[in-house]
Chain A
Amino acid sequence: MANDREVLREIWDGKLPICFQLAQEEIMEIQQPDPFYVMVPRLSYFPLVTDKMKRHFLRYISQENADNEMWLDYNGQPLKWHYPIGFLYDLYCGHDPQLPWNLTVHFMKFPEEILLRCPNKDVVEAHFMSTIKEADVLKHRGQVMSTMQKKDHNQLWLGLQNDKFDQFWAINRRLMESHGDSEGFKHIPIKIYSDDGVCNQRLVSPKNTDGSRKTLQQMITELYPDKSNVKLRTHGVVIPHDTPLQWLSEHLSYPDNFLHLCVF
């Protein structure tokens, strides 16, 4: 059970100051647009928080590009909208944290080969819900999601979209419960990324073969038997190696129910 409310709240309230700037080559006006400063929830997705920013910059670009899909880059690296914002920051900026996070806004030259198209928020919702379902399959063989009603699914999404902790956790609590007899999930929904952004997803059990709780260190030894000094970062912090995986999954998962960890 995810019942450490203090940690959950701290995770939920994590925010990043971001400074958006329009790409120089796209400015069509004489006057330089002001950068757009905004505090963004780490747990959210870019398409959910960029409406205002987009409106701010639309005046400065050529009208023919106004209907194009907007995309972002950091240091020339296009940002994938389907990852949580906090994770993207940890991935690209985690080793050398710089605040605010300076991102460049583009309306042209959409990098089709790198990014998925995101015509509207429904696509984000569909992606979000399917990730939660995937996580539930790992945790409870999908039993929790299938017993939920449509309105519960909706509440999860609205809770995230409107940044409502209680609304979200009222439902998410059920997803974070251990089921049946066993204490702990069947598997831990976990995605580990090396600094080049390559994702490594493995089946990880929350327990050792002797039934004791598996710690982060034990998982690292399993996954990287040859590396000695592996550190993992998520939500902007380095996770102590003796943290139990089950607890980590219950408390430090992103709203999509996955642990997104960055190796460094």
Chain B
Amino acid sequence: MSSNSLLFSINNEGKVYALSTSGSCWREFMYLGLEFKTLSAVPHHLWAVGGDRQIYLHVHGLEIPIRVREESYENERWLPLEGFSGRLLPTDRYHFSSQDGTKDRSIDRIRLPSMAWQWEGDWQLELTLDGQPLDHDGWTYAVDFPAQFGSNKQWKSCVRRRKWIRYRKFSAMNSWCAIAPLHKDPTQEPFIDVSIGGIQIPYASPGTLSVWAITSHGRVMYRAGVSTTSPEGLKWINISIPPNCDIKQISVGPTGLVWALLWTGRAIVRKGITKDCPTGEGWMEVKSPNETKLISLSVGYNAVWAVSSDTRVWFRKGVEGNGAGVSESAALGSGWLEITGNMSHISVGINDQVFAIGDSDKSIYWRSGITPAEQTGKRWRRVQANMQLSRTSSSASVVSSNSNAKHHSLSMLNESTTERKSHINLHNSWEESHSAPIEHTLPIKPKEANKKRNENTENIDLTGKSYETTLKNPRAWSPVRSVGSVVGMEAQPDSDSSVFDVDSGMFFDDEVSQTAWGTCETMWAFVEAGACSVDVMQIPHWFSDSQNAFNMDLTSKWRIEVLDRLKNRNSNQKLDLSIYGVAVEEKGWTRSCEARLINGIHTSEDCILSLYWHDLENIGTLSVFQPDGTINFILNLGEVTSVINTSEPGCPRLTLSFPHLNKISIKIQFISEMEQEEWQNVLVDITSQINGLTGKPSANSVWAISNSGDVLNWDPMPAKLNTSKNGRYTKEFQVFGKDIMSGVTTPLHNNFPPGSSLKITGCLHDVLDRFYINLQGPEVKKQRHKIEKEVTEIPLHFNVRFDQVTVVCNTKVSGNWGSEERHKLPLAPGQEFCIQIVCDVKGFKILLNDEHYCSFEHRVRPETITSVDVQGPLRLFSMEYSTTNVIIGADEMYWRMIGGYLRRVESCQNGVVWGISHDHRVWVYTGGWGGGVLKGVGSKDGIHSMTDTQTYCVYENQRWNPLSGYTSTGLPTDRHMWSDITGRLKRTREHTKLLNRHWHWISEWMIDYNTQGGVDSDGWQYATDFPAPYHGKKVFTDCVRRRRWYRKAQIVTEGPWIRAGNTALLDISLWATGDEVSVWAITLAGDAIYRTGVTVSTPAGAHWEHVNNPQPLVAISTCNQIVWVVGRKGELYYREDISKENPSGSKWKLIELPKYNYPYSQKSSFGAKTVSLTTTSAWVILSNGAIAVRSNISRNQQDGKEWNHLTECDLTFKQISAIEHEVWAVTTEGIIQRRLGVTDENPVGTTWQPIHSGNLVHVSARGVCLQ
């Protein structure tokens, strides 16, 4: 369920069906009057041979359109008389060129590659340079072309250039798109088979695909230029085959490995297919299994499966996808292995899962139990999914295709071509046929386009809706003329998109209209699993065995009967149960183990842990004994605020935080991972029970992610309920027995705004001269001759002086005392007293023993008060603090582990929570609790399997020396020859270890050919010295080189999260209005998108809508229908005109960046890194980790008015989350800080309050509401 993928099949009528791994019904593709013979798929791309023996492409399931940005630089040179002009020197670059000037990029010659593409608006100028706005013409100036261009024209600027950009979009999404035939007459050389693969060719750049086809003449064709950004490719290339080989079927594996099957029943294998040579070098023959002829074969990652003519199934041993390009034996395998079962067709899917069609019953079977360790699996299981009853029987469809121009049958297409042949001057060679029609021939609906243009000339809005409506005129396409002609356009959304409508996640009710589905037995002719990813841990609901029928069990009649009867067992007997004793005495239970206590980085001591837990009394203690049995210390589990996994590879560890005590936290290392997990489970369970937490946290809770990917949650609700007294919240501080002589400072978590009060009771010593109570601001670092801390702001100083027989009230502002107000001394030594300080709008009222004593007008805003300091010879009995907000100190915040493995989490005020994992996949919180290590805590509801992938990198560094060239012996001052990216830490491939047993490697160590800066053919990057920019081409001055090795690892776990969409995201932001949530996000490619239909009841929403953006983006935040984004170069934009009616807004506007002299750096301006918006201000983290606050943001002034800076601290931050007056941030050290004193008048707040010192990476406080 964690991911959606599709299994495709063709029935005996030639109709195509899809079965989603998250659904349980076969859904039929819209029938277009065309039957299909074969299919081949990778995720989102489906290639097929139609009944007319032509090749069709179907791109589907992409949530955001395929967009390609075309760029062209317009270059001009200054000439003495004419000024700047397009006449350039003969040695110069083209007038319109690529960025490096080597290619001619004349704007009028940049055309759409095929009819499947459409321009998105006209050519536009780029008007920013590195985040700074340029003048309206967008020119940038330089001395000469290969130089640094700047925004200002100077006397020495001899050349200038500007950048034109235009986007084109693949418009043939969700429709069959005909690929041009090889010859003018499509019947001359039809196709018999096609296969797509190559999604995991070793070292190839992401998005590479590989398509091979067989023609009826037995020729093998390779489609050049196919990738995820160019789904239809460029042209066919003929691949020669050995003589006497007549090929009938071809199969491409994920690693690009190609096997072909001959009519004689033998197989041949293409060798030498690598990222640089996708067509391979030559053919090799494979012996068939003894005396059998193969009739069907399919290539997987590390497997090849085949079916022979006597319906036996064969598995090829020893095939190794990664090495197939360089090793013949890895491509060929070592031998055939017969597998039980009789099949007529076979297909290998993702993770080498195998599907086949049974020979006798023509049903589809899945091979269960296939794992990397057991590649042949265990047994065949029949796929039993309901059928969507055919919407178009084959006879009816003929009628419909005649009446509906949209549903053209292919026969009609061909007719129309013959008619029009005379008009089209076709070039005879098929290679020329990819020349696309120029833009003007595109049948854009004139009305619509005009209207749009009038409304908004500079930004033609194509947010993904409009491309569906264009290209409606069926006469515009002909399969002969163009590569990308479109057979059926975007299916009608109400009926036909349902094939792919599985994306709505957990709330998609597959069984809504059960009537539309039947269970009729279908005879399948073909199955294609290339896009099908079956989660072995949580297999789809396709099999009618007990395990999968469990969900049905929950609602079945007998189960409800059993449960009802169980519940009513003793109810008919009226009994007074109070006289009955308890048979089993409630005892606490204990658990103990040996462990090590980690004190510092290098010191540790053996200890014995002993846990005692009594669930009736809700008491738990953790005792730590020394090995000889003496008690080291005992911890009350009620005081533990978090239990966090802090393991390192080979060292399973837990950290318990308890800010109550001086020790703050302990780190325990366990003997084994199993033991650590058991303890984590038990401790989380017990501490949650003590804090009364279970199930789904309230909507107003704060979410955080720890360094180890654990999801933590702090829920203010229980505290809110406990301390509320008619809207006032009171907290009593533990002061009894504290040493007041040297002063006691207690933080006031909600400051001291009007409405707050403080009550102090105590007893004076018999001999005393003075005592004081300070309501004061934060400590600030003062740099005099040495750094010291001082309190500079004391809004109220209440000083009782027995030596002077007076009471002094005063204020300290910026370190200077103001004028004193004196009152007469009301107290005597040895007296018990009760002092109450009440803050109202005008000033402080001070009550002594419940009688009004004096008033003190505000000289400084009382919101700046962050703590109370009492000092003097007295004893305190109690100190009570009450305000209008919930008072919660860090020591009372229990951070509950929710389960799951994520990198980021974002919440909003109605409880919808989204997360992003390290591999950028998106998850939505299901409301469950537990999963993974947390086994017994919650119910199983909402717990799904989760996976995440991380890439480990090491750098191999070499230095050149005159004798032996580049070697791995560096200078003594050099970095390690195997290191991390900074070179400071030694990292070797052999010593890279996985964190725990839930991780496993999913690849070998590989050279990264896609490192930033470019690499040579062996992956090396060169530089003059180590900390220098690297480049891919070796030049004379280069003395060092490095290359990056990477290896991927995957974690398999469980958690209360479910996948939402399959678009990879960088950042996401949620904002709730009532039940609805607006969700904006940044894709991995840097595009801004927003999600439609997200509500509390459908948290996963419906689908993404794409919003054009000028520059690749990295971060986003939304609040109150204002959206701010951060560009890759640190620039800030906001989106204009977003409203409920127009959720995508109109255009991006640049926001000025904060400029100031930061005291700790010389640079005057920093780009933004991330942003968090509230209704009135924007909190921005700059690239140096400092925070800038843009204030006075409103609907009318969406970019705010001024920048404010936090000057009182030198903390640096990596992430921030703000809503209303709550601002939470994570420092670079991983400490969560909360900003105190944020008000409308003082939008930057007064000070940071450390909340959690664990190693955290992300916090989201966007749901918090403490009022």
Residues of A within 8 A of B (CB): 1, 3-7, 10-11, 14-17, 36-41, 44, 48-49, 52, 97-100, 158, 161-164, 166-167, 169-170, 178, 180-181, 183-184, 206, 211, 213, 235-244, 246-247, 252
Contact of B584 among A37, A162, A206 (CB under 8 A): A162
Q: Measured between alpha carbons, how far is A117 from B921 in the docked complex, in Å?
A: 63
Q: Is A10 a contact partner of B936 (Cβ separation < 8 A)?
A: no
Contact of B368 among A39, A162, A181, A237 (CB under 8 A): A181
Question: Which residues of B have CB within 8 Å of A16?
Answer: 570
Q: Which B residues from 137 to 186 make CB contacts under 8 A with A? A: none
Contact of A39 among B378, B547, B563, B582 (CB under 8 A): B582
Q: Is A10 a contact partner of B583 (Cβ separation < 8 A)?
A: no
CB within 8 Å for A17 and B575 given contacts A10-B563, A37-B581, A39-B582:
yes
Question: Which residues of A have CB within 8 Å of B582?
Answer: 38-39
Q: Measured between alpha carbons, how far is A211 from B547 in the docked complex, in Å?
A: 13
B429 CB–A CB distance under 8 Å: no
Contact of A184 among B546, B550, B562, B566 (CB under 8 A): B546
B287 CB–A CB distance under 8 Å: no
CB within 8 Å for A49 and B561 given contacts A1-B550, A11-B566:
no
Shortest beta-carbon distance, B376 to chain A, in Å? 13
B379 CB–A CB distance under 8 Å: yes
Q: Is A163 a contact partner of B935 (Cβ separation < 8 A)?
A: no
Given contacts A39-B580, A49-B584, list 15 more A-B pairs with CB under 8 A: A6-B563, A16-B570, A41-B584, A48-B584, A97-B573, A158-B589, A166-B936, A169-B936, A180-B378, A181-B379, A183-B546, A183-B547, A236-B569, A242-B558, A247-B553
Q: Scoring B residues 457 to 501 as 1 if CB is less than 8 Å from chain A, else 0, what string do you get?
A: 000000000000000000000000000000000000000000000
Contact of A238 among B565, B580, B587 (CB under 8 A): B565
Q: Measured between alpha carbons, how far is A34 from B379 in the docked complex, in Å?
A: 65
Q: Is B369 a contact partner of A178 (Cβ separation < 8 A)?
A: no
Q: Is A5 a contact partner of B563 (Cβ separation < 8 A)?
A: no
Contact of A17 among B561, B577, B935 (CB under 8 A): B577
Q: Is B583 a contact partner of A49 (Cβ separation < 8 A)?
A: yes
Q: Is B558 a contact partner of A5 (Cβ separation < 8 A)?
A: no
Q: Measured between alpha carbons, how far is A3 from B551 in the docked complex, in Å?
A: 10
Question: Which residues of B have CB within 8 Å of A181?
Answer: 368-369, 378-379
Q: Which of A48, A100, A183, A239 has the most CB of B within 10 A?
A: A183
Question: Which residues of B have CB within 8 Å of A49?
Answer: 583-584
Q: Which B residues from 536 to 562 make CB contacts under 8 A with A? A: 545-547, 549-550, 553-554, 557-559, 561-562
Q: Which B residues from 897 to 954 make CB contacts under 8 A with A? A: 935-936, 939-940
CB within 8 Å for A52 and B581 given contacts A4-B554, A237-B569:
yes
Contact of B559 among A4, A17, A98, A178 (CB under 8 A): A4
Contact of B589 among A167, A211, A238, A242 (CB under 8 A): A167
Contact of A242 among B368, B557, B563, B940 (CB under 8 A): B557
Q: Measured between alpha carbons, how far is A62 from B297 in the docked complex, in Å?
A: 87
Contact of A10 among B545, B553, B567, B939 (CB under 8 A): B567
Q: Measured between alpha carbons, how far is A11 from B565 in the docked complex, in Å?
A: 11
Contact of B580 among A38, A158, A161 (CB under 8 A): A38
Q: Measured between alpha carbons, how far is A39 from B545 in the docked complex, in Å?
A: 40
Q: Measured between alpha carbons, how far is A15 from B378 in the docked complex, in Å?
A: 44
B373 CB–A CB distance under 8 Å: no
B512 CB–A CB distance under 8 Å: no
Q: Is B557 a contact partner of A39 (Cβ separation < 8 A)?
A: no
B579 CB–A CB distance under 8 Å: yes
Q: Is B566 a contact partner of A99 (Cβ separation < 8 A)?
A: no
Residues of B within 8 A of A (CB): 368-369, 378-379, 545-547, 549-550, 553-554, 557-559, 561-563, 565-567, 569-570, 572-573, 575, 577, 579-584, 587, 589, 685, 935-936, 939-940
Q: Measured between alpha carbons, how far is A213 from B552 in the docked complex, in Å?
A: 13
Question: Which residues of B have CB within 8 Å of A39?
Answer: 577, 580-583
Instruction: Rank and list the top 10 A-B pairs by shortest CB-CB distance, nearest first.
Output: A237-B565, A49-B583, A240-B558, A99-B573, A163-B584, A243-B558, A181-B378, A236-B569, A39-B580, A10-B566
Q: Is A1 a contact partner of B547 (Cβ separation < 8 A)?
A: yes
Question: Which residues of B have CB within 8 Å of A235?
Answer: 566, 569
Q: Is B558 a contact partner of A162 (Cβ separation < 8 A)?
A: no
Q: Is A7 a contact partner of B589 (Cβ separation < 8 A)?
A: no
In the complex, the number of residue pairs spanning A and B with C-beta atoms less than 8 Å apart equals 114
Q: Is A14 a contact partner of B559 (Cβ separation < 8 A)?
A: no
Contact of B553 among A4, A44, A183 (CB under 8 A): A4
Shortest beta-carbon distance, A10 to chain B, in Å? 4
CB within 8 Å for A41 and B567 given contacts A99-B575, A167-B589:
no
Q: Measured between alpha carbons, how far is A1 from B575 in the docked complex, in Å?
A: 36
Among residues of B, the one whose C-beta sits closest to the C-beta of A85 is B583
Among residues of A, the one whose C-beta sits closest to the C-beta of B938 is A5
Contact of A7 among B378, B566, B573, B583 (CB under 8 A): B566
Shortest beta-carbon distance, A175 to chain B, in Å? 15
Question: Which residues of B have CB within 8 Å of A242?
Answer: 557-558
Question: Which residues of A have CB within 8 Å of B546?
Answer: 183-184, 206, 213, 244, 246-247
Among residues of B, the one whose C-beta sits closest to the C-beta of A207 is B546
Question: Which residues of A have CB within 8 Å of B549?
Answer: 213
Shortest beta-carbon distance, A138 to chain B, in Å? 17
Q: Measured between alpha carbons, how far is A235 from B565 in the docked complex, in Å?
A: 10
Q: Is A38 a contact partner of B559 (Cβ separation < 8 A)?
A: no
Contact of A100 among B378, B545, B575, B935 (CB under 8 A): B575
Question: Which residues of A have CB within 8 Å of B566?
Answer: 7, 10-11, 14, 235-237
Among residues of A, the one whose C-beta sits closest to the C-beta of B941 is A5
Q: Is B562 a contact partner of A243 (Cβ separation < 8 A)?
A: yes
Shortest beta-carbon distance, A19 to chain B, in Å? 9
Q: Is A5 a contact partner of B575 (Cβ separation < 8 A)?
A: no
Contact of B583 among A38, A99, A164 (CB under 8 A): A38
Question: Which residues of A have CB within 8 Å of B685?
Answer: 166
Shortest beta-carbon distance, B1187 to chain A, in Å? 45
Contact of B940 among A3, A167, A213, A243 (CB under 8 A): A3
CB within 8 Å for A240 and B557 given contacts A39-B580, A41-B584:
yes
Among residues of B, the one whose C-beta sits closest to the C-beta of A206 is B546
Q: Which of B368, B546, B553, B569 has the most CB of A within 10 A?
A: B546
Question: Which residues of B have CB within 8 Å of A38?
Answer: 580-583
Among residues of B, the one whose C-beta sits closest to the C-beta of A215 is B558
Among residues of B, the one whose C-beta sits closest to the C-beta of A239 is B562
Shortest beta-carbon distance, B305 to chain A, in Å? 19
Q: Measured between alpha carbons, how far is A99 from B576 in the docked complex, in Å?
A: 11
Question: Which residues of A have CB within 8 Å of B583?
Answer: 38-41, 44, 49, 52
Question: Which residues of B have CB within 8 Å of A239?
Answer: 558, 562
Question: Which residues of A have CB within 8 Å of B567?
Answer: 10
Shortest beta-carbon distance, B339 to chain A, in Å? 14
Q: Is B550 a contact partner of A3 (Cβ separation < 8 A)?
A: yes
Shortest beta-carbon distance, B461 to chain A, in Å? 50
Question: Which residues of B have CB within 8 Å of A166?
Answer: 685, 936
Q: Is A44 a contact partner of B584 (Cβ separation < 8 A)?
A: yes
Among residues of B, the one whose C-beta sits closest to the C-beta of A50 is B583
Q: Measured between alpha carbons, how far is A181 from B381 in the docked complex, in Å?
A: 10
Question: Which residues of A have CB within 8 Å of B584?
Answer: 41, 44, 48-49, 161-163
Shortest beta-carbon distance, A90 to chain B, in Å? 11
Q: Measured between alpha carbons, how far is A211 from B553 in the docked complex, in Å?
A: 17
Q: Is B580 a contact partner of A178 (Cβ separation < 8 A)?
A: no
Contact of A240 among B379, B547, B562, B589 (CB under 8 A): B562
Question: Which residues of B have CB within 8 Å of A10?
Answer: 563, 566-567
Question: Which residues of A have CB within 8 Å of B575?
Answer: 17, 99-100
Q: Which of B379, B561, B570, B580 has the most CB of A within 10 A?
A: B580
Mind listing 14 A-B residue pairs with CB under 8 Å? A5-B939, A37-B579, A37-B581, A39-B581, A49-B584, A99-B575, A163-B584, A166-B936, A169-B936, A178-B547, A211-B545, A235-B569, A240-B561, A243-B562
Shortest beta-carbon distance, B551 to chain A, in Å? 10
Question: Which residues of A have CB within 8 Å of B940?
Answer: 3, 5
Q: Measured between alpha carbons, how far is A213 from B572 in the docked complex, in Å?
A: 34
Shortest beta-carbon distance, A134 to chain B, in Å? 23
Among residues of B, the one whose C-beta sits closest to the C-beta of A213 is B546
